[in-house]
Amino acid sequence: MSVTAKFKIAAAGLALLALAACGTTYGRQEALTRVAAAFTPGKGQQEYQVSNADIQGALQRFNGPMLLARVPSRNSSAVLRRLATNGPYETFITGDKRTLILIDGILTGTRGLSQDIMDATDKDVRQLVYSRTDGVANRFRRYLDVENHTYEQSVTCYVERTGSEAVSGGVISAQTTVMSERCVNKDEEFTNTYWVDGNGIVLKSNQWVGPDNGYIEVQYLRR
Partner 1 sequence: MPSAEVAPDGELATTLSYFGGSFKSTLSFQILPRLSGSFRYTGIDGLDSTGFDTYYDRSFDVSLLLLKETTSWPALSIGLRDFLGTGLYGSEYLAATKGFMDGRLRVTAGLGWGRLGSANSIASYGDRPRDVLGSGGIPTYDRWFRGDIGVFGGVSYAATDKLTLKAEYSSDAYRLETVTNDTFDRKSDWNFGLDYQVTDYLSVGGYYMYGSEFGVSVRMALNPKNQGVPGGSETAPPPVVLRPLESVDDLGWTNVPAQQASYKAKLAEELKPYGIYLEAATLTGREAVVQIRNERYDIESQAIGRTARVMSRYLPGSITTFVIAQNVNGMPTGSVALNRADLEQLEMSPADAIKDKAVFASGLAASSAAVLDETYPRLDWSFGPFMRLGFFDVDNPLRADIGLRARASVFLTPGLMVSGSVTSKLAGTLDEMSSPTTSTVNGVPVVRSDTSRYQDGPEPRLETLYAAQYLQMTPDIYGRLSVGYLEQMYAGVSAEVLWKPQDSRLGIGVEANYAKKRDYDGGFGFQDYDVYTGHVSAYYDIGWGFHGQVDVGRYLAGDWGATVAIDREFDNGWSIGAYATKTDISSEDFGEGSFDKGLRFTVPLGWALGTPSRRSSNFAIQSLTRDGGARLSVPGRLYGVVRDSHEPEMAKTWGKFWR
Residues that bind partner 1 in the complex, under the rule CB under 8 A: 4, 7-8, 11-12, 14-15, 17-18, 20-28, 30-31, 34-35, 83-84, 86-87, 89, 91, 93, 96-99, 101, 108-109, 111-116, 118-119, 142-150, 212
- What's the min distance (Å) between Cβ of 169 and partner 1? 23
- Shorter beta-carbon distance to partner 1: residue 69 or 174: 69
The CB-of-7 to partner 1 minimum distance in angstroms stands at 7
State how far the Cα of 55 lies from the Cα of 58, in Å rounded to an integer: 5
Sign of CA dihedral 113, 116, 121, 125: negative
> What span, in angstroms and rounded, lies between the C-alpha atoms of 183 and 64?
32
Residue number, 58 or 101, with CB nearest to partner 1? 101
Of 99 and 127, which has the nearer Cβ to partner 1?
Answer: 99
Q: Exposed, middle or buried: residue 62 (CB in 10 Å: 0-12, 13-18, 19+)?
A: middle
To partner 1, the closest distance from the beta carbon of 162 in angstroms equals 29
Angle at 103 between CA 98 and CA 109, to 5 degrees: 35
Q: Give the nearest distance from C-beta 92 to partner 1 in angstroms.
A: 10
Query: Nearer Cβ to partner 1, position 15 or 50?
Result: 15
- Beta strands across the sheet bearing 150-169: 106-111, 99-103, 89-93, 76-86, 66-71, 214-222, 202-210, 189-196, 172-184, 150-169, 135-144, 119-121
Smallest separation, CB 166 to partner 1 (Å): 32
Quick one: 71 exposed, middle or buried, by C-beta within 10 A (0-12, 13-18, 19+)? buried
Smaller CB separation from partner 1, 50 or 144: 144
